[in-house]
Copies of this chain bind each other. A is one copy, B any other.
Amino acid sequence: MSANDLLIRMQQGDRLALARLMTLVEARPPEIYRIMSQVARMAKGAPRLGITGPPGAGKSTVIDGLIRLLRSQHKTVGAVAIDPSSPFSGGAVLGDRVRMQDHSIDPGVFIRSLGSRGSHGGISRATMEVALLLDAFGMDEILIETVGVGQTELDIMGIANTTVVVLVPEAGDTVQTLKAGLMEIGDIFVVNKADRDGADRMAAELRAMVEISPSPKEWAAPVLLTSAREGKGLEELLEAVMSHRRHLADRPETEAFRRNYLKRQFLEIILAELCLRLDSTPEIEIIARQILSGAEDPYAAAAELLSDPSRLAQFLRLRDKQ
């Protein structure tokens, strides 16, 4: 089936076509730009809600609960889970994912896991693109789950309009939480598994930290308690998300956020292509061997290539070989 057929079928609500387009996004055939350009024009601009936090905090259960709640409000939901799976195994079958499969028979829900393989902004580009496909498919809400507290979360900031940080009472002492650099990332904090010891203390500490944090966005991040497995606190969480969106709608920086997002999206598309071109240049292997032999070092080799525009242009396929 041609990419055009896939696009038409996706617009008609064909989930298999949507899934195959997502696979194309990862495979990156040359026509990807033309395809995604059409996808970008189909998208209606559904809000992106980021859910992040350390492993074991119950993010997937929170997302599962949010999906149920949104469905009860007759909203359709797309979810992207960034799964820091192995570069070898290509992603394990996960307990949480299995639980989420409950939604797989619901035509109003589509969930996609993305491996965090690839480099040079690969995962944030792929996340942006899968979210865009879900948006073009017509989903009302896009949820993005990231595991961990590393770079991924910093990336989500540029992708999600609202970011929820999910923690658990035993997430460790407050210093550890601060350390994770989550304070400025979260628009909303959730202490999940709130029936466990220490939940109230942790929420109080988080509230104190929100108060002393600089708030460039003039938004005081609420700290909520949930027991996602029992469905407790999720309505309040969704209410807080909506409240944050109303806040954003009035803010001048929302346009700056959007412009910055689009600029970044554009730059990442270009850089992903340049990286592919460079990486597939046979001369790169030769340079790597020279570096390995000690005849060159990476910096001298880089400086040499960067100072030779015509050779670099050739590597980047910006001109024909002479």
The chain A residues found within 8 Å of chain B, CB to CB, are 32-37, 39-41, 54-56, 82-89, 92, 94-96, 116-117, 119-121, 123-124, 146-155, 157, 170-173, 175-181, 183-185, 214, 216, 255, 258-260, 262-271, 273-275, 278-279, 284-285, 287-289, 291-292, 297-303, 305-306, 309-310, 312-313, 316-319
Contact = CB atoms under 8 A, between A and B. Distances in A.
Nearest to A301: B266
A84 B263 contact: no
Nearest to A314: B318
The complex is assembled from copies of this chain, and their number is 2
A154 B37 contact: no
A96 B177 CA distance: 12
Contacts of A41: 297
A94 to B, nearest CB: 5
Given A149-B147, A291-B266, A300 B181 contact: no
A117 B154 contact: yes
Central interface residue in A170, A176, A259, A298, by most chain B CB within 10 Å: A298
A123 B151 contact: yes
A80 to B, nearest CB: 14
Nearest to A170: B170
> When A and B form their complex, which 10 residue pairs have the shortest distance between CB atoms, in order from nearest?
A148-B150, A56-B172, A33-B303, A40-B297, A263-B288, A150-B152, A95-B175, A37-B299, A36-B299, A86-B184
Contacts of A147: 149-150, 179-180
Given A33-B300, A313-B319, A306 B88 contact: no
Central interface residue in A41, A121, A297, A303, by most chain B CB within 10 Å: A297
Contact of A154 (B84, B146, B271, B312): B84
A295 to B, nearest CB: 11
A204 to B, nearest CB: 19
Contacts of A96: 175, 179
A273 B302 contact: yes
A66 B222 CA distance: 40
Contacts of A170: 170
